[in-house]
Amino acid sequence: MEDRSLKVALLFLGAIACGAPAREGPHADHGAPPRGRHGHHHRFDDAAGWSKVFDDPARDEWQKPERVVAAMKITPGMTVADVGAGTGYFEPHLSRAVGPSGAVIAVDVERDMVAWIDARAKREGLANVRAVLAPASDPTLPAAKVDRVLVVDTWHHIDDRPAYARKLAASLAPGGGVYIVDFTKESPHGPPPHARVSPEETIRDLGEAGLGAEVVPVDLPFQYVVRASR
């Protein structure tokens, strides 16, 4: 299991670095809408292809979604947004955390990903999950209604991060928080070093939106977690 988990980790992180599902190889089309300040743009419109990588069960061994969700301190009845939700990897975990009385808003900029999440929610009985198509510059979340926002491996794709952070801040309900999970500078895997955003930069981005932010000590091998709130 350990060998398989490592292979999945390398495949996942290599695919992100290349900008397409690994089966397409390093010459895949990178012509997605602008999503990164560093010019690190990808095509993420092949949901079926990405799902083979993102949703491989062995990913749990290093992504450790249960630790991420536990760090968010979600309680039943909350509204949680997953921004840059992709194929919906985190949705089953978030759905269980908020319970039947809560809601999960899965936001993505790719129409194919949104359709995939909707189909997945129906297939897996995630009645509290709703997928939303949003432009790259705006998560289109309801104002002052969201208790937790999760952004995984997406922060380094966003053009104007402080402006985007202000929109996330505007969505927060009283006591709400934003959780950014992204690759460390030291990780041997992930996007090219120039495309990564350090925890300090992320904290600064969120601070420009009027949010107090700090690193949360979650034991992840390739990523950091930053928590922000008013």
Query: What does the pLDDT read at residue 175?
Result: 98
DSSP 71-115: HTT--TT-EEEEET-TTTTTHHHHHHHH-TTSEEEEEES-HHHHH
How far is Cα 75 from Cα 99, in angstroms, rounded to an integer? 8
Between the two ends of the chain, the Cα-to-Cα distance in Å is 41
Q: Which two tokens stand for residue 61?
A: 């061994």
Query: What does the pLDDT read at residue 190?
Result: 86
Query: What does the pLDDT read at residue 15?
Result: 47
Nearest-CA neighbor of 36 among 22, 19, 50?
A: 19
Q: Which two tokens stand for residue 7?
A: 């292979």
Structural domains of the chain ordered from first start? 2-229 (3.40.50.150)
Query: What does the pLDDT read at residue 166?
Result: 99
Residue 157, classed as helix, strand or coil, is helix
Query: What does the pLDDT read at residue 109?
Result: 97
Query: What does the pLDDT read at residue 39?
Result: 36
Give the DSSP letter of residue 35: -
Q: What is the CB neighbour count within 10 angstroms for residue 175? A: 10
Query: What does the pLDDT read at residue 46?
Result: 86
Note down pLDDT in tens along the chain; length 230 residues.
444 444 444 444 544 444 433 322 222 222 222 233 333 445 567 899 889 889 998 889 999 999 999 999 999 999 999 999 999 999 999 999 999 999 999 999 999 999 999 999 999 999 999 999 999 999 999 999 999 999 999 999 999 999 999 999 999 999 999 999 999 999 987 899 999 999 999 999 999 999 999 999 999 999 999 999 99
Query: How far, rounded to the nearest angstrom, does the alpha carbon of residue 64 sit from its chain's CA centroid?
Result: 13
